[in-house]
Structure 1
Amino acid sequence: MVSMNPTVAEPRRARGRLQLLLIIGVVLGPMLLASAMYRFGFWVPESRSYDGVLIANGQGREALGVQAGAEARWELLVTAPQGCNENCQKLVYLARQINIGLAREAGRAGHALAITQALDAVYEQRLQREYPQLKRYALDASVYSSNPEAPAAPQLWIVDPHGNLVLRYAADADGKAILDDLKYLLKISQIG
């Protein structure tokens, strides 16, 4: 029986352990670094590439009090907790124009209105005539008002295909900036 020389086996074993530790470090190191950066907020860039208010806490439509069916498309959602006034109507128009501005990508997104009270008859007829693809949802005012991310004024939200809130815009937002944000999201998205 041939026995291994213990002086040769020990350096091999040490080198093998070092290689194993390096492999583990290469795999786990970036994950640990990214987790620490997220948790403690260091090395996070101050600049941003979007125009709206980022909703990065995993809230869905339900957090606003919007009960909507699941649809695997991006959505431009207008919320009007105090009725659809002039600002709300402006956002509904803007949402449709943004959807049209997506051109060939328009099929990946839709637009919707969530309101707490019924619309006046004249505006209701106008919506049916001019906005046939506008989805309408009921908005629970008590849930909406309890959400710190949801201002009382009408808002335009970009909602991903899973129903998560992504970005929020006020009534005075620039339509071109919203369109650019949505185009960027559609470009990098693997869903919807």
Structure 2
Amino acid sequence: MGTAMNPASMSETRPPRSRRRGRLQLILVLLVALGPMVLATTMYKFKFWVPDSRSFHGELIGNGESRTELGVQSDEKRWQLLVTAPNQCDADCQQLVYLARQIQIGLGRDASRASHALTTAQPLNPEYDARLTREYPQLQRYPLDLKRYHRMAPGVELPQLWIVDPHGNLVLRYGAEVNGKDLLNDLRQLLKLSNIG
């Protein structure tokens, strides 16, 4: 005679249908909740599926480097258009200083959310210094620590314009050839997306 299967022992070896369904639901919830975060982190770390197109015109810094690491000591708490001149403030530097002021004015009602500044490693030409004092009364000026600057921006000897966020983080960098309209659009976009500064 064959041994009969005991239904009670079968239910002990196999989980009930409702328990399996519950586990499946839990796994699905975890996948839905954690899946996008894991995917995004992996995409960021391994640089795959990253779109080639971009909506900004400057060079994105975006790695947490700060104005202090650039060699500029400032406690500005607004967005800042910062011009750096590791050498003399020549024609390109002066053009960027002018552009920084015009961009701030171009922000219209958001102009109070930004400032413009110049940092130089060498003393300014006395004539240009006097002109800045006279015509650019809101321009903030700082000395540039060349040692830190060269560590942060190796090989960058030409004047640059940097967008700095209210926490002092470097966001975008532009050379002297930047189109003012593009720069203004970039800054407007940042102000629109930001709830700081």
Question: Do these two structures clear the TM 0.5 threshold for a shared fold by scoring above it?
Answer: yes
Aligned residue in 1 for 2:86: 81
Alignment equivalent of 1:98, drawn from 86, 96, 103: 103
Q: Is 1:166 aligned to residue 174 of structure 2?
A: no
Range moving further from structure 2, 72-81 or 150-159: 150-159
Q: CA deviation at 1:62?
A: 1.6
Question: In structure 2, what is the Cα distance between the partners aligned to 1:35 and 1:147?
Answer: 26
Q: Does 1:59 align with 2:65?
A: yes
Q: Which sections of structure 2, spanning at least 5 residues, go unmatched? A: 1-10
Secondary structure, in 3 states, of the residue corresponding to 1:191? coil
Map Cα deviations across residues 117-168 of structure 1 (whole Å, 9 max, x no partner): 2212221111111111111111001111222466110000001111111111
Where structure 1 has 5 or more consecutive residues not aligned to the other structure, the ranges are none
What is the percent sequence identity of the aligned residues? Answer: 59
Give the conservation status (yes or no) of the 8 Å contact 1:64–1:150. Answer: no
**How many Å separate the matches in 1 of 2:72 and 2:141?**
10
Does the 8 A contact of 2:70 with 2:153 survive in 1? no
Q: TM-score, normalised by structure 1?
A: 0.91
Contact residue 144 and residue 150 of structure 1 kept, 8 A: no
TM-score by length of 2: 0.89
Partner of 2:30: 24
Alignment-mate amino acid for residue 147 of structure 2:
S
| Alpha-carbon distance, 1:77 to partner | 0.2
Report if aligned partners of 1:84, 1:115 keep a CA contact under 8 Å in 2. yes
Match runs of 1:1-192 below 5 Å: 10-69=16-75, 71-148=76-153, 151-192=156-197
Instruction: Note the alpha carbon deviations across 1:80-111, whole angstroms, 9 max, x for none.
Output: 01121111111100000000000111011110
Note the C-alpha offset of 1:6: 7.2
